């Protein structure tokens, strides 16, 4: 079994934290993991992307070939569309529904909505609003991870929750629980 995941968003949104939690869960389960990250102007709100490859066998490259990704998990809807060429025919896009307009020529909302609506396998929610409702505005990335949990498949939802706790443990129990709450809201939003 294998799973190829593209994680993407804008600098500062927490994409690499999502990759860390998934990687921790995979490592704990004895899976092979390869990751490649691209940080394009991330300090200034630019594109951040990570190829994350998980398998119970060997992985020969850390880059996902075009047309083969199982999931595109995106903190920002336009960034999700940017990586569609990597998505397999049966792949799933999991994204925030709320744009992060950080460039002057950001696509019109109607065009963005139309492109997203045309996707055959789409899961989306307003992750920022859900995180605020949870009392953890910085937890939007964990809401997104919760939305993706059942689609990741190679590691269980429980494995991800436990990995999240291990990753955030050094920040204290309150931070762990706040992020778990966001994760659980994402799980519920994806149903």
What would the pLDDT profile of 134-143 be if each residue is shown by its tens digit?
999 999 999 9
Phi-psi region of 178 (alpha: psi -120 to 50; beta: other; left: phi over 0): alpha
Asked whether the predicted pLDDT for residue 30 surpasses 60, the reply is yes
pLDDT at 39 over 70: no
Angle at 141 between CA 140 and CA 144, to 5 degrees: 90
If you classify domain 2-189 with CATH, what class do you get?
alpha beta
Q: 3-class SS at 24? A: helix
pLDDT band per the 50, 70, 90 thresholds, residue 191: confident
Query: Do 183 and 59 form a contact (C-beta atoms < 8 A)?
Result: no
Q: Are strands 47-55 and 32-39 parallel, antiparallel or unpaired?
A: antiparallel
The H or E element that residue 28 is part of is helix 15-28
Assigned token pair, 54:
């998980």
* Per-residue pLDDT band at 100 (split at 50, 70, 90): confident
């Amino acid at each position: 079994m294998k799973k190829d995941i593209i994680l993407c968003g804008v600098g500062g949104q927490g994409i690499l934290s999502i990759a860390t939690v998934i990687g921790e869960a995979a490592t704990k389960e004895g899976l092979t993991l390869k990751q490649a990250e691209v940080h394009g102007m991330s300090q200034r709100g630019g594109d951040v992307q990570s190829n994350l490859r998980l398998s119970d066998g060997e992985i020969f490259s850390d880059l996902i070939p075009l047309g083969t990704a199982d999931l595109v998990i995106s903190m920002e809807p336009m960034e999700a569309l940017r990586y569609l060429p990597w998505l397999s025919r049966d792949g799933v896009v999991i994204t925030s529904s709320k744009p992060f307009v950080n460039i002057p020529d950001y696509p019109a909302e109607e065009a963005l909505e139309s492109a997203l609506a045309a996707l055959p396998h789409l899961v989306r929610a307003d992750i920022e609003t859900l995180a605020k409702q949870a009392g953890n505005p910085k937890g939007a990335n964990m809401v997104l991870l919760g939305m993706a949990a059942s689609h990741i498949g190679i590691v269980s939802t429980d494995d991800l929750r436990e990995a999240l706790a291990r990753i955030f443990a050094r920040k204290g129990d309150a931070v762990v629980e706040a992020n778990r709450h966001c994760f659980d809201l994402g799980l519920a939003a994806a149903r």
